[in-house]
């Protein structure tokens, strides 16, 4: 009976250490992947939507806070020159979201209902090869602390026909 009690205490202590270790990990950029959904069939002078994503590559869930403008995009030609954007007045609601992102979960939110479509819908007037990257800004609430995160993906190449 004493052996069973000792084993139960040992298991409890081991689990407490594991839980304590997981709670002491501070979130950082290496725990996430930022990317963009593949762009295909893009035609000159026709609108297309860019959708970025944030993937949790860590083994634990995170509580993230973000605004409607979590994802922004940069498009450049193959020489690195920014593609000009024709846009009128842009709007964005100052609204905040709190979501949980689970291990290996991919999160996408272009804020379609809370900001102008010009933030994620683009038109390129000349055929050719281009590059785009995703910028993402959010906060992580962990152990009653807030960790600011600003991450940028690699440039992804795509063709405009």
Interval 76-94: pLDDT, tens:
999 999 998 766 555 556 6
The tokens for 86 are 């024709």
Question: What is residue 12's predicted lDDT score, i.e. its pLDDT?
Answer: 41
Residue 78 is predicted with a pLDDT of: 96
Q: Looking at the predicted structure, is the pLDDT value of residue 13 above 70?
A: no
Average pLDDT of the chain?
84
What is the homologous superfamily of the domain 28-160 according to CATH?
A: Intracellular proteinase inhibitor BsuPI (2.60.40.2360)
Look-up: residue for tokens 């819908």?
Answer: 121
Nearest-angstrom CA–CA distance, 114 and 64: 18
Residue boundaries of the structural domains of the chain: 28-160
Give the pTM.
0.78
d(CA 34, CA 159): 21
Strands (E), 57-127: 62-67, 71-77, 96-101, 106-107, 121-122
**pLDDT tens for residues 128-145?**
999 999 999 999 989 999
CA-to-CA distance for 139 and 70, rounded, in angstroms? 10
Q: 3-state SS of 39-69? A: CCCECCCCCEECCEEEEECCCCCEEEEEECC
For the CA atoms of 137, 140, 146, 148, the dihedral, rounded to the nearest 10 degrees, stands at -20
């Amino acid at each position: 009976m004493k052996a069973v009690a000792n084993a139960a205490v040992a298991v409890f202590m081991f689990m407490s250490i594991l839980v304590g270790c997981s709670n002491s990990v501070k979130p950082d950029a290496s725990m996430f992947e930022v990317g963009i959904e593949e762009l295909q069939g893009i035609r000159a002078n026709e609108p297309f939507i860019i959708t970025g994503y944030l993937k949790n590559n860590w083994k634990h869930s995170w509580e993230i806070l973000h605004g409607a403008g979590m994802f922004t995009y940069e498009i450049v030609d193959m020489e690195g020159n920014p593609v000009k954007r024709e846009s009128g007045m842009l709007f964005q609601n100052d609204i905040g979201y709190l979501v949980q992102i689970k291990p290996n979960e991919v999160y996408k939110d272009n804020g379609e209902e809370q900001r102008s479509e010009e933030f994620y819908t683009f038109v390129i007037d000349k055929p050719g090869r281009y590059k785009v990257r995703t910028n993402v800004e959010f906060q992580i609430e962990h152990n009653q602390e807030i960790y600011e995160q600003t991450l940028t993906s690699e440039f992804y190449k795509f063709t405009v026909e």
